[in-house]
Amino acid sequence: NAGVTQTPKFRVLKTGQSMTLLCAQDMNHEYMYWYRQDPGMGLRLIHYSVGEGTTAKGEVPDGYNVSRLKKQNFLLGLESAAPSQTSVYFCASSNYPTDTQYFGPGTRLTVL
Amino acid sequence: AQSVTQLDSHVSVSEGTPVLLRCNYSSSYSPSLFWYVQHPNKGLQLLLKYTSAATLVKGINGFEAEFKKSETSFHLTKPSAHMSDAAEYFCVVSDQRDSGYSTLTFGKGTMLLVSP
Sign (positive or negative) of CA dihedral B2, A108, A8, A62: positive
Cα separation, B38 vs B47, in Å, equals 10
Check residue A71 and give left, alpha or beta (phi > 0: left; psi -120 to 50: alpha). Answer: alpha
Cα separation, B23 vs A75, in Å, equals 33
pLDDT of B60 strictly over 80: yes
Does the beta-carbon distance from A42 to B44 stay under 8 Å? no
pLDDT of B100 strictly over 70: no
Does the beta-carbon distance from B34 to A100 stay under 8 Å? yes
Q: Are B24 and B5 in contact (CB under 8 A)?
A: yes
Percentage of chain B lying above the pLDDT 70 cut: 96
pLDDT of A42 strictly over 70: yes
pLDDT of B98 strictly over 70: no
Does the beta-carbon distance from B108 to A104 stay under 8 Å? no
pLDDT of B99 strictly over 70: no
Which residue type occupies B50?
Answer: Y
Distance from CA of A43 to the nearest CA of B (A): 6
pLDDT confidence bin for A40, thresholds 50/70/90 = confident
Average pLDDT over residues A56-69: 95
Distance from CA of A61 to the nearest CA of B (A): 14
Interface size between A and B, measured as CB pairs under 8 A: 56
Cα separation, B37 vs B60, in Å, equals 11
pLDDT confidence bin for B97, thresholds 50/70/90 = low
Does the beta-carbon distance from A42 to B32 stay under 8 Å? no
Distance from CA of B56 to the nearest CA of A (A): 18
Check residue A51 and give left, alpha or beta (phi > 0: left; psi -120 to 50: alpha). Answer: left
Average pLDDT over residues B1-28: 94
Distance from CA of A59 to the nearest CA of B (A): 10
pLDDT of A57 strictly over 80: yes
Residue in A41, A99, A104 closest to B43 by CB = A104
Q: Which residues of B touch A31 (CB under 8 A)?
A: 100-102
* Residue B44, C-beta contacts closer than 8 angstroms, at least 6 positions apart: A43, A90, A103, B36, B37, B38, B90
pLDDT at A97: 78
pLDDT of B111 strictly over 90: yes
Which residue type occupies B104?
Answer: L
Residue A94: closest CA among chain B residues belongs to which residue?
B101
Percentage of chain A lying above the pLDDT 90 cut: 88
pLDDT at B30: 74
Residue A4: closest CA among chain B residues belongs to which residue?
B43
pLDDT at B29: 72
